[in-house]
Amino acid sequence: MSANVVVHKPASGGKFALFEEIGNRVEDVRRRAFELFQRRSAESGDPLDDWLRAEREVMGWAATELIETDTAYQAEVALPGFDARDVHVIVTPAEIIVRAFRQDANQGAEKSVLWSEFNSRDLYRSLAPPEPALKPIDPEKTTATIEHGLLRIVAPKAVAKPEAPGNAEAEVKSAAAAAAIAR
């Protein structure tokens, strides 16, 4: 049985505390990547590998798929063990942000976990279409459901309003500016 996930839509120019939290997490990724770089000191390696490993460690990781159709973006995010109340989806015209967080169910229990392959109980994932300024998301019509640990998001593309000839360039620049502000 699928459960609806609340989709948050910031007001024009609005900010969520989550955006600041994500900014702090990115700083944590930067610090962790530098630690990994220092740990291997003069040994050969790839700084990009350090960054990607740090990002997985700090932000969590979930298998994800983003598909574009003529009318919408469709995303699936694997979130085993998460319920609808654990998942927050924020949608702007330029991106979809997924945050999943759950408290450890074994706290205070008389048993202890010997090992676990659940790689994160706190996850962030940003999904951005390749050309958000040209094909923006319609946050008002976006829906999300979760069933058996699979989050499904359907984000319809915003319908372009007919403009007078010669104003198409202004519309594209306006959408690009809105996308930049949303980030």
pLDDT given at position 183:
47
pLDDT given at position 81:
84
pLDDT given at position 170:
46
Low-confidence ranges of the chain (pLDDT < 70): 11-19, 42-43, 103-110, 115-120, 161-183
Contact 175, 92 (CB under 8 A): no
Domains of the chain (ranges plus CATH)?
3-12+63-105+117-182 (2.60.40.790)
Cα–chain center distance at 142: 14
pLDDT given at position 17:
66
